[in-house]
A and B are shown apart, each in its own frame.
Chain A
Amino acid sequence: MKAYSILLIALLSISTQVIGQGLSVGDTAPGFTLTNVDDSQVSLSDYADQKGAVIVFTCNHCPYSVAYEDRLNDLDAKYKALGYPVISINPNDPELYEDDSFAAMKVRAEEKGFTFPYLMDEGQKIYPQYGATKTPHIYLLSNSGGTFTVEYVGAIDDSARDAEGVTETYLADAIDALLAGKEIAVTETKAIGCSIKVKK
């Protein structure tokens, strides 16, 4: 009987893992402490005095990520002051993509003048907890007393290829709704991205 229960629990935990592949809206976001391109350590808990945070899984090598770099700077410039700063995390294994190495991240952050942290997911431990599958992949979090809750998951807007072609600013709309104390109209969106690279 005991063996049977253990088996059942094991099966249940496998199935929830398969179904709940990542964080959904309403879930509590796991904390992290990762190294930034300026060699400092950045933790989600450092942002406990903010209204929330915009977690962006992104990287150097992916054209879809590169296409959003300027827009991320713009979003950070606008929303950091309003309590929703951008925190970007590179989830790729640098051994599989040289462009995504920590040294290359430093270069890119400098070139583009990132106004936000660009963290290395050392050992690729954080992105699976969020359930990110690709870059870019966004998790908008709200903060209540140091507990961060997922409010929006998905894309930045509906036109990766050029900022001129944007008709829906999903992420900005979601932050604006939070700031206005309104319900977020669209809480999940999908976009094409580069699959996160893991060693086989």
Chain B
Amino acid sequence: MKAIYTLILGLLLIGKCDSQSIETVTYDQLEERWSSKSDTLYVINYWATWCGPCVEELPDFIALNDELKDGPFKMLLVSLDFPKMIEKRVLPFIEKKKITPEVVLLDDNPNVWINRVSKQWDGDIPVTQFIKGDYYDLHIGQLSHQELKDKINSIK
């Protein structure tokens, strides 16, 4: 009986950890999350809780994900908050804003990974990558509801 309790407690703890943590990744690890050999449309948005324009455009991204998530579609919200802010800011923010797309936190050498995203990009957020097969596009700056919709329609 005691073993069963321990097991249940253990499972509860695992479940709790699962919903209460986000993965910290390098850019190499992030890139493994999409593939050019798939017909999936990947939308990768780089944001942070402290970034005003990022926070403003988030509801449109959440709505888009809700609309398309059952199809060949994957959205990743890549947080650039400092890793020590995960517990204090990022997780509470995800809960408060009801952010449903997957969130990961990128922690890597900015002088290297920013150029891998685009030589044209300076490191100011938000930016959004759109990837499907050989199609690659980077939008620098905030996207309005209509711009995001038009962008997706032009790729689909």
- The distance in angstroms between the C-alpha atoms of A170 and B83, with both chains bound, is 23
A161 CB contact (under 8 Å) in B53, B84, B123: B84
> Which B residues between 97 and 156 are near A, CB-CB below 8 angstroms?
109-111, 114-115, 121-126, 141
> Which A residues between 136 and 155 are near B, CB-CB below 8 angstroms?
137, 154-155
| B80 close to A158 (CB less than 8 A) | no
Number of contact residues on A: which range applies? Answer: 20 to 34
Known contacts A134-B124, A155-B110, A155-B111; is-contact A192 B50 (Cβ 8 Å):
no
Chain B residues in 8 Å Cβ range of A154: 111
Chain B residues in 8 Å Cβ range of A194: 50-51, 124-125
Secondary structure of the A contact surface, majority rule: loop
- The distance in angstroms between the C-alpha atoms of A168 and B110, with both chains bound, is 12
> Which A residues between 147 and 199 are near B, CB-CB below 8 angstroms?
154-155, 158, 160-162, 168, 170, 189-197
| A62 close to B110 (CB less than 8 A) | no
**Closest beta carbon of chain B to A111's beta carbon, Å:** 19
B59 at the interface (CB under 8 A from A): no
| B111 close to A133 (CB less than 8 A) | no
B52 at the interface (CB under 8 A from A): yes
Known contacts A97-B52, A161-B82; is-contact A192 B123 (Cβ 8 Å):
yes
Number of contact residues on B: which range applies? Answer: 20 to 34
Chain A residues in 8 Å Cβ range of B84: 161
A128 at the interface (CB under 8 A from B): no
Chain A residues in 8 Å Cβ range of B121: 190
B110 CB contact (under 8 Å) in A97, A158, A162: A158
**Closest beta carbon of chain A to B118's beta carbon, Å:** 10
> Which B residues between 23 and 40 are near A, CB-CB below 8 angstroms?
none
- The distance in angstroms between the C-alpha atoms of A165 and B127, with both chains bound, is 26
Chain B residues in 8 Å Cβ range of A196: 124
Chain A residues in 8 Å Cβ range of B82: 63, 67, 160-162
| A134 close to B111 (CB less than 8 A) | no
| A190 close to B123 (CB less than 8 A) | yes
- The distance in angstroms between the C-alpha atoms of A97 and B55, with both chains bound, is 14
- The distance in angstroms between the C-alpha atoms of A193 and B110, with both chains bound, is 10
**Closest beta carbon of chain A to B34's beta carbon, Å:** 21
- As a 0/1 sequence over residues 39 to 62 of chain B, the CB contacts with chain A under 8 angstroms (1 = contact) are 000000000101111000000000
**Closest beta carbon of chain B to A193's beta carbon, Å:** 6
Closest 6 CB pairs of A and B: A134-B124, A195-B124, A190-B114, A161-B82, A133-B122, A133-B124
- Enumerate 12 A-B pairs (CB-CB under 8 Å) in ascending A order: A67-B82, A96-B52, A134-B122, A161-B82, A161-B84, A190-B115, A191-B114, A191-B123, A193-B124, A194-B51, A196-B124, A197-B52
- For the complex with contacts A155-B110, A191-B114, A195-B141, 5 further pairs of A-B residues with Cβ separation under 8 Å are A63-B50, A97-B52, A190-B114, A192-B125, A195-B126
